[in-house]
Protein backbone atom coordinates (compact mmCIF):
# COMPACT_ATOMS: atom_id res chain seq x y z
CA UNK A 1 0.00 0.00 0.00
CA UNK A 2 2.67 2.34 1.11
CA UNK A 3 4.67 1.98 -2.11
CA UNK A 4 1.54 2.78 -4.08
CA UNK A 5 1.07 6.03 -2.31
CA UNK A 6 4.70 6.95 -2.41
CA UNK A 7 4.41 7.46 -6.16
CA UNK A 8 1.35 9.65 -5.97
CA UNK A 9 1.33 12.85 -7.90
CA UNK A 10 -1.12 15.64 -8.18
CA UNK A 11 -3.41 14.48 -10.89
CA UNK A 12 -4.78 16.80 -13.52
CA UNK A 13 -8.21 18.12 -12.65
CA UNK A 14 -11.20 15.92 -13.18
CA UNK A 15 -12.98 16.88 -16.36
CA UNK A 16 -16.44 15.94 -15.18
CA UNK A 17 -18.42 15.11 -12.06
CA UNK A 18 -18.36 11.43 -13.07
CA UNK A 19 -14.59 11.37 -13.08
CA UNK A 20 -14.46 13.08 -9.70
CA UNK A 21 -16.93 10.52 -8.38
CA UNK A 22 -14.80 7.70 -9.64
CA UNK A 23 -11.70 9.19 -8.02
CA UNK A 24 -13.57 9.46 -4.71
CA UNK A 25 -14.43 5.76 -4.83
CA UNK A 26 -10.84 4.96 -5.71
CA UNK A 27 -9.71 6.93 -2.68
CA UNK A 28 -12.21 5.19 -0.42
CA UNK A 29 -10.97 1.80 -1.65
CA UNK A 30 -7.37 2.80 -1.04
CA UNK A 31 -8.22 4.00 2.46
CA UNK A 32 -10.08 0.77 3.20
CA UNK A 33 -7.15 -1.29 1.97
CA UNK A 34 -4.76 0.59 4.26
CA UNK A 35 -6.92 0.11 7.37
CA UNK A 36 -5.32 -3.24 8.43
CA UNK A 37 -1.84 -1.73 8.34
CA UNK A 38 -3.09 1.38 10.20
CA UNK A 39 -4.52 -0.91 12.89
CA UNK A 40 -1.10 -2.53 13.09
CA UNK A 41 0.92 0.66 13.15
CA UNK A 42 -1.13 2.38 15.80
CA UNK A 43 -1.99 -0.72 17.79
CA UNK A 44 -5.72 -0.14 17.54
CA UNK A 45 -6.89 -3.76 17.84
CA UNK A 46 -8.41 -3.42 21.28
CA UNK A 47 -9.78 0.05 20.67
CA UNK A 48 -11.71 -0.21 17.45
CA UNK A 49 -12.84 -2.69 14.81
CA UNK A 50 -11.85 -2.27 11.10
CA UNK A 51 -15.47 -1.87 10.18
CA UNK A 52 -15.81 1.09 12.51
CA UNK A 53 -12.82 2.78 10.93
CA UNK A 54 -14.32 2.14 7.50
CA UNK A 55 -17.56 3.75 8.48
CA UNK A 56 -15.63 6.61 10.01
CA UNK A 57 -13.88 7.21 6.68
CA UNK A 58 -17.22 6.93 4.88
CA UNK A 59 -18.72 9.43 7.29
CA UNK A 60 -15.91 11.89 6.58
CA UNK A 61 -16.62 11.58 2.87
CA UNK A 62 -20.38 11.86 3.31
CA UNK A 63 -19.88 15.04 5.27
CA UNK A 64 -18.99 16.65 1.93
CA UNK A 65 -21.74 14.97 -0.05
CA UNK A 66 -23.28 18.30 -0.96
CA UNK A 67 -20.22 19.42 -2.92
CA UNK A 68 -20.86 19.28 -6.65
CA UNK A 69 -17.99 21.28 -8.08
CA UNK A 70 -15.39 18.79 -9.49
CA UNK A 71 -12.56 21.18 -8.73
CA UNK A 72 -13.57 21.35 -5.07
CA UNK A 73 -13.93 17.58 -4.94
CA UNK A 74 -10.42 17.26 -6.35
CA UNK A 75 -9.11 19.60 -3.72
CA UNK A 76 -10.87 17.70 -0.93
CA UNK A 77 -9.53 14.44 -2.32
CA UNK A 78 -6.05 15.86 -2.37
CA UNK A 79 -6.35 16.83 1.29
CA UNK A 80 -7.77 13.43 2.12
CA UNK A 81 -4.89 11.73 0.37
CA UNK A 82 -2.44 13.89 2.28
CA UNK A 83 -4.08 12.88 5.55
CA UNK A 84 -4.08 9.22 4.60
CA UNK A 85 -0.41 9.44 3.67
CA UNK A 86 0.43 11.02 7.02
CA UNK A 87 -1.39 8.25 8.81
CA UNK A 88 0.16 5.43 6.84
CA UNK A 89 3.63 6.97 7.15
CA UNK A 90 3.26 7.00 10.94
CA UNK A 91 3.57 10.77 10.90
CA UNK A 92 0.84 10.83 13.49
CA UNK A 93 0.59 9.41 16.97
CA UNK A 94 -1.85 6.96 18.38
CA UNK A 95 -3.94 9.56 20.23
CA UNK A 96 -4.38 11.55 17.02
CA UNK A 97 -6.04 8.58 15.36
CA UNK A 98 -8.12 7.71 18.42
CA UNK A 99 -9.18 11.29 18.93
CA UNK A 100 -10.07 11.96 15.33
CA UNK A 101 -11.46 8.72 13.99
CA UNK A 102 -12.30 6.45 16.92
CA UNK A 103 -13.83 8.79 19.48
CA UNK A 104 -14.63 11.31 16.80
CA UNK A 105 -17.04 14.08 17.35
CA UNK A 106 -19.22 12.36 19.87
CA UNK A 107 -16.83 11.47 22.67
CA UNK A 108 -15.26 13.82 25.23
CA UNK A 109 -17.61 16.55 24.17
CA UNK A 110 -20.72 16.48 26.34
CA UNK A 111 -23.79 15.18 24.64
CA UNK A 112 -25.75 18.34 24.12
CA UNK A 113 -28.25 16.50 22.01
CA UNK A 114 -31.88 15.99 22.71
CA UNK A 115 -31.63 16.12 26.53
CA UNK A 116 -31.34 19.87 26.85
CA UNK A 117 -33.97 20.64 24.29
CA UNK A 118 -36.88 22.47 25.79
CA UNK A 119 -34.89 23.50 28.83
CA UNK A 120 -34.83 27.15 29.73
CA UNK A 121 -31.74 29.26 29.34
CA UNK A 122 -31.45 29.26 33.14
CA UNK A 123 -31.25 25.48 33.38
CA UNK A 124 -28.74 25.21 30.55
CA UNK A 125 -26.53 27.74 32.30
CA UNK A 126 -27.08 26.06 35.64
CA UNK A 127 -25.68 22.77 34.36
CA UNK A 128 -22.47 24.42 33.19
CA UNK A 129 -21.61 26.96 35.87
CA UNK A 130 -22.67 28.73 39.03
CA UNK A 131 -21.76 32.12 37.68
CA UNK A 132 -24.24 33.47 35.19
Partner 1 sequence: MGLGSIASRALRSNTLRPGHTNLLRRSIVTTTELRNAEAAQAQPETPPPDLPPRTPVAGARVHFPNPEDAIEVFVDGYPVKIPKGMTVLQACEIAGVDIPRFCYHSRLSIAGNCRMCLVEVEKSPKPVASCAMPALPGMKIKTDTPLAKKAREGVMEFLLMNHPLDCPICDQGGECDLQDQSMAFGSDRGRFTETKRSVVDKNLGPLVKTVMTRCIQCTRCVRFATEIAGVQDLGMLGRGSGEEIGTYVEKLMTSELSGNVIDICPVGALTSKPFAFKARNWELKGTESIDVTDAVGSNIRIDSRGPEVMRVVPRLNEDINEEWISDKTRFFYDGLKRQRLNDPMIRGPDGRFKAVSWRDALAVVAEVIHQVKADEIVGVAGKLSDAESMMALKDFLNKMGSNNVLCEGNGPNPNADLRSGYIMNTSISGLENADVFLLVGTQPRVEAAMVNARIRKTVRATQAKVGYVGPATDLNYDHEHLGTGPQTLSEIAKGSHPFSSTLMNAKNPCIIVGAGIFERDDKDAIFSVVEAIAERAKAVRPDWNGMNVLLLNAAQAAALDLGLVPESDKGIESSKFIYLMGADDVNLEKIPEDAFVVYQGHHGDRSVYRANVILPASAFSEKEGTYVNTEGCAQTTVPAVPTVGDARDDWKIVRALSEVAGVILPYDSLSAIRSRMKTVAPNLVNVDEREPATFSYSLKPESQQKISTTPFKAAVENFYMTDPITRASKVMAQCSALLSKK
Q: Which is nearer to partner 1, 89 or 116 (CB)?
A: 116
- Cα–Cα separations (whole angstroms), residue 121 to 60, 111, 129, 132: 33, 17, 12, 10
8 A C-beta contact, residue 53 and residue 103: no
Residues 6 or more apart whose Cβ sits within 8 Å of residue 16 = 70
Choose, by CB under 8 A, the member of 33, 71, 90, 115 that binds partner 1.
115
Number of residues counted as binding partner 1 (CB under 8 A): 9
Asked if 121 is part of the footprint of partner 1 (rule: CB under 8 A), the reply reads yes
Segment interacting with partner 1 (CB under 8 A) among 31-39, 47-55, 100-108, 117-125: 117-125
Can you give the binding site for partner 1, defined by CB under 8 A?
A: 115, 119-123, 126-127, 130
Amino acid sequence: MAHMMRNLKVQPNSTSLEEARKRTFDFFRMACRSIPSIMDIYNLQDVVAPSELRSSVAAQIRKNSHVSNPKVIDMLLFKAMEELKDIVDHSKQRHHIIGQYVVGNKGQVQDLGTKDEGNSEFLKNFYTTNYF
